[in-house]
Structure 1
């Protein structure tokens, strides 16, 4: 179990949250609706009691993705943040947590949508970390102009632009 409270937020920093108690219930969902909502092959989420979430900066915008619930996201940068079920069901995206590495998924569901080659991903060749090779100038330029919010709470965001 990770140290409490858990914190996280969107890429641009417009929406931040704190979670008083998340438990150990992280999971992957492979259903087609989660794939579309995340723009990815699956959704990595953690169940959270509704009363445990405090939005500390901004609020997520929502899209009613089904008759059962809504998807929460940052209206400024589009980061997927949560699923808000109509019957008290809440999940937070693991990738939006400040320390996603602390929340290893325990289960998988929505298996009808899982890519048939999902189990083979560990055999896909690795090309190393971003930052080397022929694209080094591109990576340096991105680092210099990075506007991504850091993985911790800040007093204000964005920082003041330097002249």
Structure 2
């Protein structure tokens, strides 16, 4: 069953709607995705061609001779991946969806770049933002509550 989901960048300048056929997602560990996101991997949802409607246009950069990536030039949010020739499916970053919790990882791509020590982190201590006093104080000083 296809659902239309919304998403966008952190500052809200770039917004999209995507027709999603599945809640399956994947991690890409290739060095390009690591560099493009600044993380150990990129979490993506594959979207079939023509199933993304940009409500406000993203900026694009050519990340390689074969690929380009949408992002927001104002806040820097990485929004996805597309083949430069415009063929095939595209990807949207899981974290850019308004409700990313609906997706689940089902595969690893770019496995040659996996940093194994980052894969299973369930035994690490967990610190919640709203319980971190230095963060709370800064939000309060700005006259705001800690966002979710």
In the alignment, the residues of structure 1 paired with residue 34 and residue 143 of structure 2 have an alpha-carbon distance, to the nearest angstrom, of 29
The C-alpha deviation readout for 1:28-67, integer Å capped at 9, x for no partner, is 01111101111111000000012111011x2111111112
Question: After the TM superposition, which residues 51-62 of structure 1 pair with which residues of structure 2 at under 5 Å, given as runs?
Answer: 51-56=50-55, 58-62=56-60
Q: Does 1:94 align with 2:94?
A: yes
CA separation of 1:120 and 1:64: change in aligned 2, threshold 3 A: same
The C-alpha deviation readout for 1:81-101, integer Å capped at 9, x for no partner, is 011112323000000001100
Deviation at 1:111, TM superposition (A): 1.3
Q: Which is strand-richer, 1 or 2? A: 2
User: Is the 1:130–1:139 contact (alpha carbons within 8 Å) kept by the matching residues of 2?
Assistant: no
In the alignment, the residues of structure 2 paired with residue 42 and residue 137 of structure 1 have an alpha-carbon distance, to the nearest angstrom, of 31
Question: After the TM superposition, which residues 60-75 of structure 1 pair with which residues of structure 2 at under 5 Å, given as runs?
Answer: 60-75=58-73
User: Is the 1:131–1:139 contact (alpha carbons within 8 Å) kept by the matching residues of 2?
Assistant: no
2:8 maps to 9
Structure 2's unaligned 5+ residue stretches are none
Deviation at 1:138, TM superposition (A): 1.8
In the alignment, the residues of structure 2 paired with residue 145 and residue 47 of structure 1 have an alpha-carbon distance, to the nearest angstrom, of 34
Question: C-alpha root-mean-square deviation of aligned residues, in Å?
Answer: 2.3
Give TM-score scaled by structure 1 length. 0.79
In the alignment, the residues of structure 2 paired with residue 81 and residue 42 of structure 1 have an alpha-carbon distance, to the nearest angstrom, of 14
User: Is the 2:139–2:145 contact (alpha carbons within 8 Å) kept by the matching residues of 1?
Assistant: no
In the alignment, the residues of structure 2 paired with residue 17 and residue 36 of structure 1 have an alpha-carbon distance, to the nearest angstrom, of 24
